[in-house]
Structure formats: C-alpha cells, structure tokens
Structure 1
Amino acid sequence: MKRKIRRYRKLSTGRPKKLIDIRTFRDAWRYRDYPFLINGEITCVTGNQWLWWHCNDEYKQLSTLNGESLGYLKGDVIRSRKCYSGWFYYWGMYLADSPSALGKRVKVFAVVEVY
C-alpha cells in the first residue's frame, strides 16, 4: 500500500513522459492508480480515494495538486450509429461542476511514466 502511494505521488509531481488516452469511464477505472492529465494540468482523485474507487461508480471528484476542487469526472455517450451487428457507441469524458450535471467534454490522459 505504501509503495502504491509513493508511486502515485511521484507520478503526480513529475513531468509526463508516457501517457495513455482515456476515452471511457471504464478506462478511467482501469487506470485509477495513475494521476490524470486534463487540459495540460495534472489532476488527482481527491484525497486517497483512488484506492477505494469502485467499478460501479458513475463519477469521481478530481482536484489539482494544490487541493483545489476541479470538478467531477464522468463518462457518457457522445453519439451512436447503426451498424451491421447492432449499435456502435462513441464514448467521451466530461468534467462537471456537480455530480448531476453533464459538464463540458475534456480530453483525459493517464500519466504512466515521468521523467
């Protein structure tokens, strides 16, 4: 546990070297052990709540490294189209001011490696 916390702090304070594109909330849950890069700013889940992020959560509160609240990260369908095997959905990530609002669409990356 201490090793995970130390690695998370190191990744959140360093300069990003390797990033992974996150398009769905399931991807965000998969890379919950890493800080996120949103709009050129490294963000993290408030407190150590990334340790207890459940797979059924619908949103997660994010904050900057200074502790300022950034908003709630959510995933939702951007658009859908009909294809031969059924429907195909395009997913996107949103940053909202409250858990019930949709918010604005953002590009999210997971910081996997730093210089």
Structure 2
Amino acid sequence: MLKYSTYQSIHNKPSLGGSKFRGLQAISIRKGLTRIMTVIILLTITCTGMVSAFASSNEGNSFADLETVVVKSGDTLWEIAVAHKPKGKDTRDYVEHIKDYNGLTVSSIQSGDVLILPPK
C-alpha cells in the first residue's frame, strides 16, 4: 500500500477563515439590531399617537358641560340667540356660531330639535 497520497484538488476553494466568519456574523447582528430598532420606533410612534388622542379627547368641552335648548313651536334661531348669547356679543355672530356648532346650513329649525349652544 501507498504510504503517501499525491492527490491534489483541481478546485481552488478558499476556506472560510475566521475573519470572513466574523464579518458575516457582524452583518447578521446589524440586521437584527436594525429590525429591533425599527420595531421599537414604530411602537413608540403608535403609543405616542394613542396617548395624545386620549389626552386631546379630554380637553375642551364635554357634552355634559354644554348647554342645550329644545326648540318649541314658533322659536327661531334669532330668538334663541338673543336669549342665550353672552353679554356684548353680536346676535348675528351668535346665530352663525349656533348654526356651525350644530351643523346647520340654513336658519330654519323645527319644534323638537335639540340645539347645542356654543360655550360662552
């Protein structure tokens, strides 16, 4: 039997040395950290949006604080505005505020309508 082999490969495959392996490992770590940071940023933005939405819903006037008027037969927006407008405010402006606040495009109202009066 032969003691030594004279076989040589015809393919020149460089082996993955330690430096190449460390480079691949560093790239995969960077990808993982990028994904984690992206998730953290998205969660932060989402939570901030939710907190600000809930905080802003408590500001301003709640419906319990607003004054309402039930329209009776023969009532007009002008009469309601004169009776409930703040002192010194123009009646025409207050009529427009009532219309805007209640989503009215015209000044006609019917008995039984419930109007929300703008805050004073």
TM-score grouping bracket, smaller chain normalisation: under 0.3
TM-score, scaled relative to structure 1:
0.27
TM-score, scaled relative to structure 2:
0.26
Q: Which protein shows a greater Rg?
A: 2
Greater strand share, 1 or 2? 1
